[in-house]
Structure 1
Amino acid sequence: MSTQAAELHTHHRDVTGGWLRPAVFGVMDGLVSNAALLAGVVGSGASAPAVAVAGLAGLAAGAFSMATGEYTSVASQRELTLAEIDVERGEISRNPEAEKRELALVYESRGLTPELADQVAGQLHRDPEVAWRVHAREELGVDPDDLPSPWVAAGSSFLAFAIGALIPVLPFLLGLPSVAVSTGLTGLALFGTGALVARLTRRSPLFGGARQLGLGAAAAAVTYGIGALMGAAIS
C-alpha cells in the first residue's frame, strides 16, 4: 500500500518552484504591454521604423524591469523567511519544552489525541535540526529546504517577458510593417498562451484563451485611442 502511494505521488507536478508564476506573468505582460505600446504608437501616426524602435525599447525596458522586480521581491521574501526561521531556531534552543508543547498543540488541533501529539512532538524534538525544520513547516508554512530562488524568478521573468514582447514587434523587424499582421500574431499568441496556462491548471483552454485575448484587446484598444488623441493634439 505504501509503495503504491509513493508511486502515485510521483505523478504530481512540482507546484512549489519559483519559475511558473514569473514565467506566466512575464510572457503575458510582455504580450499585452508591448502590444498596447505599439497600438498607442501606431495610433499616434508614427512611421513603421518608429514603431519598431518603440517595440524594441519596450521589450528591453520591460524585461529588465520585470527581472529586477522579481529578483527584489523574491529575495526580500526569502530573507524575511530565513530571518523568521532564525527566530524559531533561537526559541527552540532557549525554551525547548515550551516549543515542544506548542508543536504538540498544533498536532492536537489536527485531530491527534493529546497523548499521541505529545509523543510525536517529543520524538521530533530529539533532534534540534529536525525540530526547527518541522516548526518552520507547521508554524511558518514554508519548507526551509525548498525556498524560491530569486535568480530563477528573475531569469524566468526576463526570458518570458522578452519572448512575449517580441511577438507584436516581430513583423516590423522582418520587413512586414503591417498593423494587421502584428495584431493577428499577437492575438494568436494571447489566445494560445492563455489556453496553455489553462491546460496546465486544468481549466477550460477555450475560456483561458478567450479571457486573455479579451484582456489584451481591451488594453490595446485603450492605448490606441490615447495615441490617436495625443497624435491629433500634437499635430
Structure 2
Amino acid sequence: MTETPAALIEHHHADVSGGWLRPAVFGAMDGLVTNIALIAGVGGGGVSPRNIVLTGVAGLVAGAISMGLGEYTSVRSANEQVAAEVAKERRELERHPEAEAQELADMWVKRGLPRHLAEEVATVIRNNPEEALRVHVREELGVDPDDQPSPWAAAISSFVCFSIGALIPLATYLLGFTNLWLALAVGGLGLFAAGAIVARYTNRSWWISGTRQLLLGGAAAIITYGVGKLIGVSGAIG
C-alpha cells in the first residue's frame, strides 16, 4: 500500500498550553529586568559593590521564590477552575443529554456545518458519554480537559529561569569586577539573547525580538538609575 502525501507529512507543534514555555520565558525576562533594574537603581544611588551584590542576590532569591510560588498557585487555580467547569458539564450531560446534543449541533451549524450532519454527529457523540464530555468542554470552554498544564512544571521552570536571568547582570560583580556599566552591559546582552531565543519558538525575527527586549529592559534600568541617583544625592545632602 502506498501512503497519501498528506499521511507522509509530519507536523511538529510547539508547547502552546502554557505548561512550561510561558513561565520559563516570563521567569527569565523578569529575572533579567528585575536585577538589571535593581543593580542600576542601587548603583545609581552610589552604594558600594558589596551592597550591590547583596541587593542582587536578595532580589534573585526573593524573586525566584515569588515567581515559583506564583506560577504554581496560578496554574493550580486555573486547573481547579477547569475541573469545576468539567464537573458542571458532566452533570448537565447526565441530566439533559438531548438538550446538550442539540446545543452542540447548533454551535456547529453556526460554523457552517449542514444542520442534518451536525445533528447526526452530535447524536453519535451523545451516545459516548466520555467523548461527549470532552467534545462539549472543548467546544464550550475552549480547553482540553485531558491536556492541562502542570503547576509543578510551571513553578520549576519559572523558578529556574528567573534565577538564571537574575544571575546574568550579577555575574561581573561575582567575578570580581566592580564597574556598574559593565554589569549593565552584560545584562543588556542577556536581554537581547533571551529575546532572540524566544523568537525561535514564535517564528519571529530574532533581532527584532532581541532588540525589543533590550529596549524594554533598558527603559526600566534608566528609570531606576534615575530614581537611585536622585535618592542617593538627596540622602547625601541630608
Q: Judging changes above 3 Å, is the alpha-carbon distance between structure 1 residues 38 and 6 closer, same or farther for their aligned structure 2 residues?
A: farther
Q: Which runs of 5+ in 2 are unaligned?
A: none
Q: Judging changes above 3 Å, is the alpha-carbon distance between structure 1 residues 79 and 209 closer, same or farther for their aligned structure 2 residues?
A: same
Q: Alpha-carbon deviation of 1:187?
A: 1.1
Question: Root-mean-square deviation (CA), in Å?
Answer: 1.5
Q: Which residue does the alignment assign to 1:68?
A: 69
SS for the counterpart of 2:9 is helix
Q: Judging changes above 3 Å, is the alpha-carbon distance between structure 1 residues 192 and 222 closer, same or farther for their aligned structure 2 residues?
A: same
Q: Alpha-carbon deviation of 1:10?
A: 2.8
Q: Which residue does the alignment assign to 1:172?
A: 173
CA distance in 1, matches of 2:18, 2:4: 25
CA distance in 2, matches of 1:89, 1:3: 39
Deviates more, 1:173-182 or 1:89-98: 173-182
Identity of aligned residues (%): 55
Contact 2:109 2:118 in 1 (8 A): yes
Structure 1 outlier segments of 4+, above 6 Å: none
Letter of the 1:31 counterpart:
L
Q: Which residue does the alignment assign to 1:56?
A: 57
Q: Alpha-carbon deviation of 1:93?
A: 0.3
Q: Alpha-carbon deviation of 1:6?
A: 4.7
Corresponding position: 1:195 with 2:209: no
Q: Alpha-carbon deviation of 1:49?
A: 0.7
Deviations 1:178-197 (A, max 9, x none): 21321121111111111121
Contact 2:32 2:191 in 1 (8 A): yes
The two structures have a TM-score, normalised by structure 2, of 0.94
CA distance in 1, matches of 2:231, 2:15: 47
CA distance in 2, matches of 1:163, 1:153: 15
Letter of the 1:120 counterpart:
V
Q: Judging changes above 3 Å, is the alpha-carbon distance between structure 1 residues 25 and 110 closer, same or farther for their aligned structure 2 residues?
A: same
How many residue pairs get aligned? The number is 235
Corresponding position: 1:143 with 2:165: no
Q: Judging changes above 3 Å, is the alpha-carbon distance between structure 1 residues 216 and 131 closer, same or farther for their aligned structure 2 residues?
A: same
CA distance in 2, matches of 1:137, 1:9: 24
SS for the counterpart of 1:146 is coil
- 1:93-108 equivalent positions in 2, closer than 5 A: 93-108=94-109
Q: Which residue does the alignment assign to 1:41?
A: 42
Deviations 1:86-117 (A, max 9, x none): 00000000111101111111221222211111
Q: Judging changes above 3 Å, is the alpha-carbon distance between structure 1 residues 134 and 73 closer, same or farther for their aligned structure 2 residues?
A: same
CA distance in 1, matches of 2:161, 2:216: 18
Q: Alpha-carbon deviation of 1:3?
A: 5.5
Letter of the 1:141 counterpart:
G
Q: Alpha-carbon deviation of 1:12?
A: 2.7
